[in-house]
Amino acid sequence: MIGYLEGALLRRDDEQGQITLLVSQVGYEVRLPDIVWRELGVNRMNADGQTQLKLFIYQHQTERSPRPLLIGFTNVIQREFFERFISVPNIGPTAAAKALNLPVRSIARAIEERDLGILTKLSGIGRSKAEAIVAALNGKMAKFALIQDAREPVPEVLTTDELREQVIEVLVSQLGYRKYEATLMVDESLKEKPDIQTPEELFDEVYRRKHR
């Protein structure tokens, strides 16, 4: 299973949103969601084998579709969000990659706030699919909705002190908050709900308090 690729931009297909990445003399065809395409500035790059790219990869391959589909992301949190997004019924990897034309944070907040207007702005997502996305993912997106700079949190089950320190660390080093902001948000959340046991629950409570 391919999880990460680092190599030179050999070819780009603007229409398909796909690039060929040369890694150790092997060319990998990688689909890039629109948000990744824009973030990397691929449309401004020359496909001459000189531009170096680093991509976290989601690989999709089934018996019905034996040819591997590689989808690239600039960081792990984008890939984790994508993996949750494709858990929605009738949204496969190709459709999901096409749909991601808004920042992960914006999509996650729209899901948490049941904002169908925002979700229907995603490419290929009509009202019925937007409703299906909300039904499947509402209440599970707080961690992504808290993103300021897209990076990856790591969910674990910890003791209260370890849980507190880890979530503060995630908010500071991975999600872009200042230490005092993160500490205040986490401590207030734990004070209101001292029975929280997992980072996911704590992210949910931090997000709920921040937006109530």
- pLDDT, one tens digit per residue, over 164-185 is 888 998 898 878 899 999 999 9
pLDDT of res. 150 = 41
Give the helix/strand (H/E) hosting 10: strand 4-13
Burial readout 3-42 (b: 16 or more C-beta within 10 A, e: otherwise): eebebbbbebeeeebbbbbbbeeeebbbbbbbbbbebbeb
Q: Is residue 53 scored above 90 in pLDDT?
A: yes
Q: Answer whether 153's CB lies under 8 Å from 200's CB.
A: no
Domains observed in the chain: 4-73 (2.40.50.140), 77-144 (1.10.150.20), 153-211 (no CATH)
Alpha carbon distance 209, 190 (integer Å):
11
Residue at token pair 């080093």: 173
Residues 100 and 38 sit within 8 Å (Cβ to Cβ): no
8 A C-beta contact, residue 1 and residue 56? no
Contact criterion met (CB below 8 Å) for 17 and 39: no
pLDDT of the residue at 147: 86
pLDDT tens, position by position, 69-82? 999 999 999 999 99
